[in-house]
Structure 1
Amino acid sequence: MDILRPALININGRIYRKNLIKEEHYEDEEEEDFSYSGPVTDQCMDEPCDTNNIEQTEKGFRCAIDVPSVLYKYIIGKKGETRKRLESDTKTSISIPKQGVEGQIVITGPQKSAVASALTRVEVLIESFRRKQPFTHFLSFALNHPQVQEGFQRFKEEVLEHCSQDGGVDDTIFQNPAKLHLTIGTLALLNEQEVMRACELLQQCQDVIRDTTEGKPLALEVRGIEYMNDDPSMVDVLYAKVSPQDGSDKLQQIADRLVEHFVAAGLMVREWERVKLHATVMNTLFRKDPSAEDKGGSGRQNMKDREAFDARNVLEMFGEFNFGACELNSVQLSQRFSSDCTGYYCSSGHVTFS
């Protein structure tokens, strides 16, 4: 059925069919070949629909596209085989900057349709392998307010006092209180230009955010804990629940609109219909890597060599634990594996609610 109904990829409003064909290996990754299907609602066309960035020259046609340097190797391929195949199949020439040098991939050819075909294939390869890159940044609501940090420290002390004999429960799996946050969505920003573009997208959301909050900070309550897998005796991530004090869904609206905006721009991949708003308080990833971050998913990521913990007593005793209240007044574009002077993640950009 995977062959009959291949996955579809949306790139700049165009839909591509993803055909799984194992051809080359890049450090345990598999290259995949693709075919362009045209818009889903339209009939397939011989030539891709978007050729606006292809210009005519004295020698034929030319197209240049910005590509982060970390993705060059996927267009070049092992011993240059991928580029050679693309050039041979499309009767074009593909020029790629040296590894580590940020620049443009330039496609030239005698016919516009040939350059368009090569462009399509390069774009699909780039999009495919971009999705395999680890995330570098994430949109976040910071919860490292003094009252919430104090509540979290109280929670940690009481859990260790009453539940330290439960399997897998120890002080290494607790969140750093200075990094308490809500993850809205993750991004793989592969060069400085993409970081700047993400900052611009975030700024574009400011008016929508302020319309939702009526130009005021949002008062939040952090109360209660939950887990996402189906076995409380084998838990990897425990979350604190967060809700606006006025009972509204304003925070959810802001998070969903942000994801919608970044997904439409191609900088974020949608994982859920709605953002799951939660603050990680215990995570077994911290056991070996205190700097690990939660992707905001099911809580079962990176399972290799991961020791779960028995959360039954924690859930029973602290199910309605009150971590405290705070006022939220900004959304951050946070940099993974970083710390600023407050201990929170370094910010590449932010917008305020008021």
Structure 2
Amino acid sequence: MVWLMPAVTKKAYDRARPTHFLSFPLSSPLITRKLGEFQSSVLSSTFQCKGIDPSIMVLSANLHLTLGVFKLLNQAEIEKAVRFLKDTIPGVIDNILQKKLLSVHLKQLATMQTNQADAHVLYVQVHDETQEKVLKDVCTAIIDAMVEEGFMVRDTRPLKLHATLINTSNRASSSGASKDEKRQPFDARPIMKSFSHLDLGVAHLDKLHLMKMGRTGPGKTYVSEGSISLTQ
């Protein structure tokens, strides 16, 4: 557990960047089609939006709802987290869900930044469509279990249900500059004016994955270390 680490190891942990994240994939044929249509419209030559580039668009295969991030610094820690995910988390979920199907409706755009003219992240809001609206309860219970076991550090910010559609941290550099260069924002105002009420449809949350940070899979997709099914 994090709080039992030797001092030297704790220092390394504190300095390290997150290595993994826990997430529900958000997918359906309808969502893939609608997201593709949205991206094509925003990237078209007739749509004027400063700072927009194909590289900052989130692939439909990478669309997800994040619950939290992890710092797993070696293979043993990764394997321990995956075992906990597979052995313990299904019971945590079922205590609340009780065989109900988790469903969410992806609609209405927003930016993480208050100034939409200097945006870095644009997302679609995730609305709970589950019977009795238990999604936040399920997410909170999973996070609590992971924190108590020492895999995650508790985030004091309220849980924000969202799915990122545009993220400037993914911007491809044409100059070969380092990743530490200042991120270039985009002007989200034209997008919000034309697409603020974007509706991507409903997704059923049937898997929970521990994903590696960084898009290192085929076609710049995320790689899963392990997952559980929510439909069994």
Q: Does 1:11 align with 2:24?
A: no
Letter of the 1:252 partner, please give it: K
Query: In structure 2, do the counterparts of structure 1 residues 217 and 162 end up closer, same or farther at CA, with 3 Å as the change threshold?
Result: farther
**Aligned mates of 1:162, 1:278 — CA distance in 2:** 28
The equivalent residue for 1:177 is 60
Q: Percent identity?
A: 28
Query: In structure 2, do the counterparts of structure 1 residues 251 and 179 end up closer, same or farther at CA, with 3 Å as the change threshold?
Result: same
Query: In structure 2, do the counterparts of structure 1 residues 231 and 342 end up closer, same or farther at CA, with 3 Å as the change threshold?
Result: closer
The equivalent residue for 2:209 is 332
Structure 1 alignment gaps of length 5 or more: 1-9, 13-121, 290-301
TM-score (norm 1): 0.58
Superposition deviation, residue 309 in structure 1: 0.7
Q: Secondary structure of 1:131's match? A: helix
Superposition deviation, residue 225 in structure 1: 1.0
Structure 2 alignment gaps of length 5 or more: 174-178
**How many residues were matched structurally?**
224
Q: Secondary structure of 2:6's match? A: helix
Deviations 1:39-86 (A, max 9, x none): xxxxxxxxxxxxxxxxxxxxxxxxxxxxxxxxxxxxxxxxxxxxxxxx
Tell which deviates more after alignment, 210-219 or 188-197. 210-219
Superposition deviation, residue 273 in structure 1: 4.0
The equivalent residue for 2:176 is none
Answer with 1 or 2: which has the greater Rg.
1
**Aligned mates of 1:160, 1:341 — CA distance in 2:** 23
Letter of the 2:3 partner, please give it: I
Q: Secondary structure of 1:178's match? A: helix
Letter of the 1:326 partner, please give it: A
More helix by share: 2
Q: Does 1:191 align with 2:83?
A: no
Query: In structure 2, do the counterparts of structure 1 residues 329 and 195 end up closer, same or farther at CA, with 3 Å as the change threshold?
Result: same
**1:164–1:170: 8 Å Cα contact kept in structure 2?**
no
**Aligned mates of 2:180, 2:46 — CA distance in 1:** 23
RMSD of aligned Cα (Å): 2.5
The equivalent residue for 2:172 is 288
**Aligned mates of 1:319, 1:199 — CA distance in 2:** 38
**1:163–1:169: 8 Å Cα contact kept in structure 2?**
no
The equivalent residue for 1:267 is 151
Deviations 1:194-226 (A, max 9, x none): 112111221312112123222133122111111
Equivalences for residues 316-327 of structure 1 within 5 A: 316-327=193-204
Deviations 1:128-172 (A, max 9, x none): 320221222110110133221111111111223487422212322
The equivalent residue for 1:26 is none
**2:117–2:187: 8 Å Cα contact kept in structure 1?**
yes
Tell which deviates more after alignment, 160-169 or 306-315. 160-169
Superposition deviation, residue 330 in structure 1: 1.8
Q: Secondary structure of 2:166's match? A: strand
Query: Which of the numbers 191, 208, 216 marks the counterpart of 2:92?
Result: 208
Query: In structure 2, do the counterparts of structure 1 residues 239 and 303 end up closer, same or farther at CA, with 3 Å as the change threshold?
Result: farther
**Aligned mates of 1:168, 1:322 — CA distance in 2:** 24
Superposition deviation, residue 345 in structure 1: 2.5
Q: Secondary structure of 1:134's match? A: coil
Higher relative contact order (CA 8 A, sep 6+): 2
